[in-house]
A and B are shown apart, each in its own frame.
Chain A
Amino acid sequence: MGLGHLASRALLRSSRLGASKPSHHLLRRTVVSTPELHNSEAAAAEAQPEPDLPKRTPVAGARVHFPNPDDAIEVFVDGYPVKIPKGMTVLQACEVAGVDIPRFCYHDRLSIAGNCRMCLVEVEKSPKPVASCAMPALPGMKIKTDTPIAKKAREGVMEFLLMNHPLDCPICDQGGECDLQDQSMAFGSDRGRFTETKRSVVDKNLGPLVKTVMTRCIQCTRCVRFATEIAGVQDLGVLGRGSGEEIGTYVENLMTSELSGNVIDICPVGALTSKPFAFKARNWELKGTESIDVSDAVGSNIRIDSRGPEVMRILPRLNEDINEEWISDKTRFFYDGLKRQRLNDPMIRGADGRFKTVSWRDALAVVAEVIHQVKPEEIVGVAGKLSDAESMMALKDFLNKMGSNNIWCEGNGPNPNADLRSGYIMNTSISGLEKADAFLLVGTQPRVEAAMVNARIRKTVRATNAKVGYVGPSADFNYDHEHLGTGPEALTELAEGRHPFYSTLSNAKNPVIIIGAGIFGRDDKDAILAVTEKIAKNINAVRPDWNGLNVLLLNAAQAASLDLGLVPESEKSIESAKFVYLMGADDENVDKLPEDAFVVYQGHHGDKGVYRANVILPASAFSEKEGTYANTEGCAQTTVPAVPTVGDARDDWKIIRALSEVAGVNLPYDSLGAIRARIGTVAPNLLQVEEREPAVFSSVSLRPDVKGTIGKAPFGSVVENFYMTDAISRASKIMAQCSALLLKK
């Protein structure tokens, strides 16, 4: 028996004997010794608000938004008065007052469950501590967060939570970033009184992404609420009751949501952790780099966690305007593709058809020699879907200097319309979708094309019961929608007001039309755009205060490429090309290329594009370079290098800059700042980093009348496999596993 234990025993005994002596209370050291509780008058006297309190600032610098200034009420948190809008909960009031209330089940973006009881606070004149997350704040409420009652309540709740929680911390992946760990340090007792055996729960199989250790679960039901409310897959539930309660799917059921990875983030304990990241690294070993995702056109804000030269995981970053705090599974888990199939040395295909590793000097010399041998109009440049604005600018400038103007970005179709910025970006903005009350989706399946935009639409549909009409092939939606037709004839009907859904659209206050970038590949693209604009005009979707005509792009590079004017001079240039510069373009159809065409592939992955290449120039991936990307709503954001590049690879724009020198047509910039200054002369909006610049002119009034008729061909689905859309995700093993297991056959 330890000396301390003996001493505390002795003290206990003496305090029990002389309970009347107050001095013993101070020395007593038991689990919940709060002698002040027994003397309510003394406690009340202590809790009197001191006259001059230090000024408090809201937790994490949160701003308070008053929807209606008349509805402001005043409450007192620890004696400090705060003004909050009516309808806020006690917990939110405390946050405004700068008091962080411990919580497990409460989450800003999920419905309130109130089942963990960790957020108990004392409210004056309330007989019991109240669960602050579920209690609306009332005018004049006196909330006390640091009184003995509140502390004792937290300590008690924490002891109960830890009763059945295994002592897994040393082998738990959540260790170090665990809410339970942190809060038990801050609010828990230093000992527990539970001596019985802990319960154990069978682990559930939720698929290749989420690892479950259900014994660690504290039944906060955040994952259940996330799956039901945000992901829209009602698979998870709370099963059983009492101490047998557990989270599960009851029947064997994988979590087939494109947002399933987010349950890893919202789980406050280590019950749901990342399967690919399991036992790979401790979170304190990782270096976080705040960057941008390029797997789709949303440009989700991410944090790339790396250890040394390896990307270990990708986590979301809060950005209320774009991705809130979620990211799609592709964004989160395609990072292992960055380590596989990488191009690390310049290569030249020899006469025998084999690639041979060469030096940069030789590779660039060969390319420069060939490009001078072909006619300028036979030169073609294609930017890939992961290209940044800087490298696209350099490519365009270089090929222009060589005399060619056949440069485009893949996915933009043969004749892209880059004249009016409002014609290819999401004018409503992603966060603006929440104000909409009717949606018309034209040839787009946002769930697979831009999962975060889909989450926004689902949020809107849930919150305001907005109606969704959809034109396109039958697709998987996770909200109620009306399938209006598969082909453009449904649009014609809508434009003429014949379709039953037209009344829904025309009655809507803020209607939104979203056109998928998939129609860019169609021959009748302009006609479809024209008829959509007619619908927009008829339903009054484009007004000075509301622009509801949107295009949902597919790739990270698309918006910036159109901003920079990467438009080919002739539509059929690839059929007569003799020199093709593929800058990471893997999905461009190169079958039509003449046999004798010389193909340079510059990119970071040995994907589809390299097999036709004559010269390979290794470039760096998005996690290794600094580059500007514009997302589908036209918001420019920059990636930041998180890890060094592999092998001999270089940044895309640097390669082109070096090539231009070898080819004798020096590009006039040799730093990132200089090339950005050049971008500023072409597309100044790309320099407004992290600030969305809306399109000034609306296309409805300015676009000239188009000729051409609408075809009969139904819309196709653009993204066949959500998990494999670009070079990185196609190289990823995790994504391969996902598409094998999760895609519905």
Chain B
Amino acid sequence: MSTMLRFAYLVARVHDREIWEFSLLGGISFDKVSAQALIAVLLFFDSSRSALLDGNLMQTKIHNIGATVVGVDKFGNKYYEKLGETQYGRHRWVEYASKDRYNASQVPPEWHGWLHYITDHTGDELLLLKPKRYGVEHKQNFSGEGDEYIYHSKGHSLHPGQRDWTRYEPWQPKKS
């Protein structure tokens, strides 16, 4: 038991910016939840390496203990809520479906409001209001994810149509 905990602590220390958060949260959870349960959760939910190596994910996992899943969007992101003992303003969060490459733009608009305390309606409810005719599918932001996602203006050497673009159309003698 204690070895497992120490291991988790060591892993977290690798990501040193997470250490204080981890220990703080850990401290709270030690009061309320038995350490055994913590390890069980750790092992049960995601014993993959990513959870142990990624402090953010680890913290989310710890946070998830005792929280209720409010909904899951179509990308598989899980939305948690924990009322009561949680600090106000930290009682809603998301666990991204992607465990290695996640960012806030993966949250679809219908869940955005709920997640940011703009509304109390969950994404499932707000999805009903999505316009059928012209509502577009949500796409995450790929900025900084490689050259193919970067916009290069016309004339830039990386612009794909750069070669067949001219600033004027020359007159072509008729092939007669």
Asked whether, in the complex, the Cβ of B171 is within 8 Å of the Cβ of A343, the reply is: yes
Whole-angstrom CA separation of A647 from B169 in the bound complex: 11
**In the assembled complex, B173 has its CB within 8 A of some CB on chain A:** yes
| Secondary structure type dominating chain A contacts | loop
The reply to whether the CB of A309 lies closer than 8 angstroms to some CB of chain B is: yes
Q: Render A335-353 as a binary contact track against B, CB cut-off 8 A, 1 for contact.
A: 0001111111101000001
Contact A605 B171 (CB under 8 A): yes
* A340 lies within 8 A of B167 (CB): no
Report B89 CB to chain A, min CB distance, Å: 11
Interface size of B in residues (CB-CB distance below 8 Å): 11
The 8 A CB mask of A603-618 against B (1 = contact, 0 = none) is: 0011000110000000
- Name B175's closest neighbour in chain A (CB-CB): A354
* A75 contacts partner chain B, Cβ-Cβ < 8 Å: no
Residues of A within 8 A of B172 (CB): 606
Q: A340 touching B173 by the CB < 8 A rule? A: no
A360 contacts the other chain (CB 8 A): no
Which among B171, B173, B174 is the interface contact of A342 at CB below 8 angstroms? B171
Chain B residue numbers with a CB within 8 Å of A345 are: 170
User: Which of B170, B172, B175 has the largest count of A CB atoms less than 10 A from its CB?
Assistant: B170
Interface status of B157 (Cβ within 8 A of chain A): no
Q: Is the CB of A342 within 8 A of B176?
A: no
**Which residue of chain A lies nearest to B176 when distances are taken between CB atoms in the complex?**
A353
Instruction: Give the CA-CA distance A33 to B167 in the complex, in Å.
Output: 54
The B interface is mostly helix, strand or loop, or mixed, namely loop
Q: State whether the Cβ of A646 lies closer than 8 Å to any Cβ in chain B.
A: yes
CB-contact partner of B173 in A308, A339, A355, A647, under 8 A: A355
How far is B176's CA from A308's CA once the two chains are assembled, in angstroms?
36
Which residues on A sit within 8 Å (CB–CB) of B175? 354
- Tell me which residues across on chain A come within 8 A of B169, comparing CB atoms: 339-342
Give A604 to B175 CA distance when docked, in angstroms.
Answer: 20
Nearest-CB residue, chain B, relative to A610: B171
Contact between A344 and B170 (Cβ–Cβ < 8 Å)?
A: yes
Contacts of A606 in B (CB 8 A): 171-173
Contact with B along A631-667 (1 / 0, CB 8 A): 0000000000000001100000000000000000000
Q: Is A235 an interface residue (CB 8 A)?
A: no
Task: Determine how close the nearest CB of chain A comes to the CB of B164; give it in whole angstroms.
Answer: 15
Q: How far is the CB of A212 from chain B (nearest CB, A)?
A: 20
Q: Shortest distance in angstroms between B138's beta carbon and chain A's nearest beta carbon?
A: 20
Q: How far is the CB of A584 from chain B (nearest CB, A)?
A: 14
Residue of B nearest to A645 (CB): B168
Residues of A within 8 A of B174 (CB): 611
Which residues from chain A contact B167 at a C-beta distance below 8 Å? 308-310, 339, 646
* Contact, CB under 8 Å: B170 / A343: yes
Q: Which residues of B contact A355 (CB under 8 A)?
A: 173
Interchain CA distance A502-B173 in the complex, whole Å: 55
Q: Which of B120-176 contact A (CB under 8 A)?
A: 155, 167-176
The answer to whether A354 touches B173, judged by C-beta atoms less than 8 angstroms apart, is yes
Of A340, A347, A354, the contact of B168 (CB 8 Å cutoff): A340
Residue of B168, B171, B174 most packed against chain A (CB within 10 A)? B171
- Assembled-state Cα–Cα distance A123/B60 (Å): 66
Residues of A close to B176: CB separation below 8 A: 353-354
Q: How far is the CA of A646 from the CA of B175 in the complex (A)?
A: 23
**Are the C-beta atoms of B168 and A339 separated by less than 8 Å?**
yes
In the complex formed, the residue of B with least CB distance to A343 is: B171
What's the minimum C-beta distance from A117 to chain B, rounded to whole angstroms? 36
Q: How long is the Cα–Cα vector from A341 to B168 in the complex, in angstroms?
A: 8
Chain B residue, CB-CB nearest to A349 = B173
**What is the bound-complex CA distance between A606 and B167, given in angstroms?**
17
A602 to B175 alpha-carbon distance, docked (Å):
21
Measured CB to CB, the nearest residue on chain A to B155 is A308
Q: How far is the CB of A702 from chain B (nearest CB, A)?
A: 46
Measured CB to CB, the nearest residue on chain A to B174 is: A611
A355 to B169 Cα, complex, angstroms: 17
Q: Which residues of A contact B155 (CB under 8 A)?
A: 308
- Residues of chain B contacted by A605 (CB below 8 angstroms): 171
When C-beta atoms are compared, the residue in chain B nearest to A340 turns out to be B169
Question: In the complex, which residues of chain B have a beta carbon less than 8 angstroms from the beta carbon of A340?
Answer: 168-169
B-contact 0/1 string along A298-340, CB 8 Å cutoff: 0000000000111000000000000000000000000000111
Query: Using an 8 Å CB-CB cutoff, how does the interface string of B61-93 with A read, 1 for contact, 0 for none?
Result: 000000000000000000000000000000000
* A353 CA to B175 CA, complexed, in Å: 9
Specify which chain A residues have a CB less than 8 angstroms from the CB of B168 in the assembled complex.
338-340, 342, 344, 646
Query: Quick one: which of A199-244 are within 8 Å of B by CB?
Result: none
A354 to B175, CA, bound (A): 7
| Residues of the B chain whose Cβ atoms lie less than 8 Å from the Cβ of A341 | 169-171
Q: Which residue of B lies closest to A611 (CB)?
A: B174
Measured CB to CB, the closest approach of chain B to A602, in angstroms, equals 14
Chain A, residues 575-607, CB within 8 Å of chain B (1/0): the string is 000000000000000000000000000000110
How long is the Cα–Cα vector from A345 to B171 in the complex, in angstroms?
A: 10
Q: What residues on B are CB-neighbors of A338 within 8 Å? A: 168
Residues from chain B with Cβ under 8 Å of A310 in the complex: 167
Alpha-carbon separation in the docked complex, A344 to B171 (Å): 8
Q: Is B170 within 8 A of A646, CB to CB?
A: yes
**A309, B167: Cα distance in complex, Å:** 7
Looking across the interface, which residue of chain A has its beta carbon closest to that of B170?
A: A344
- The chain A residue sitting closest to B167, CB to CB, is A309
Closest chain B CB from A424 CB (angstroms): 33
| Cα–Cα distance between A309 and B171 once the two chains are bound (Å) | 18
Residues of B within 8 A of A647 (CB): 170
| Min C-beta distance of B165 to chain A, whole Å | 11
Identify the closest chain A residue to B173 (Cβ): A355
Separation of A341 and B171 alpha carbons in the complex (Å): 4
* A336–chain B nearest beta-carbon distance, Å: 10
Give the complex CA separation of A341 and B173 in angstroms.
10
Inter-chain CA distance A347–B171, complex, in Å, is 11
Q: Bound state CA distance, A338 and B155, in angstroms?
A: 19
How far does the Cβ of B131 sit from chain A's closest Cβ, in whole Å? 14
CA–CA, A344 to B173, complex, Å? 12
A343 to chain B: which residues have CB within 8 Å?
Answer: 170-171
A646–B171 alpha-carbon span in the complex (Å): 11
Residues on B with C-beta less than 8 A from A344 are 168, 170-171
Give the residue name and chain of the B residue nearest to A310 (CB). B167
A207 to chain B: closest CB distance in Å? 25
CA of A646 to CA of B170, assembled, Å? 9
Give, as a whole number of angstroms, the nearest-CB distance from B120 to chain A.
16
CB A691 to nearest CB in B, in angstroms, measures: 35
User: A194 to B171, alpha carbons, bound, how many Å?
Assistant: 56
Distance in angstroms between the alpha carbons of A731 and B170 in the assembled complex: 11
**CB within 8 Å of A: which of B89-111?**
none
Kindly state the separation between the CA atoms of A345 and B168 in the bound complex, as whole angstroms: 13
**What's the Cα separation between A354 and B174 when bound, in Å?**
8
Bound Cα distance from A606 to B172, whole angstroms: 8
Cα separation A342 to B171 with both chains bound (whole Å): 5
How far does the Cβ of A422 sit from chain B's closest Cβ, in whole Å? 40
CA distance A347 to B170 in the complex (A): 12
- Taking CB atoms, residues of chain B closer than 8 Å to A354 are 173, 175-176
Shortest distance from the beta carbon of A679 to any chain B beta carbon, whole Å: 30
- 7 closest cross-chain pairs (CB), A and B: A606-B171, A355-B173, A339-B168, A340-B169, A344-B170, A341-B171, A646-B168
15 inter-chain pairs at a CB distance below 8 angstroms, sorted by A residue, are A310-B167, A339-B169, A340-B169, A341-B170, A341-B171, A342-B168, A342-B169, A342-B170, A343-B170, A347-B173, A354-B176, A610-B171, A610-B173, A611-B174, A646-B170
Besides the known contacts A309-B167, A341-B169, 5 further A-B residue pairs in the complex with CB atoms under 8 A apart: A342-B168, A342-B171, A354-B173, A606-B173, A646-B167
Listed in ascending order, the chain A residues whose CB lies under 8 Å from chain B are 308-310, 338-345, 347, 353-355, 605-606, 610-611, 646-647
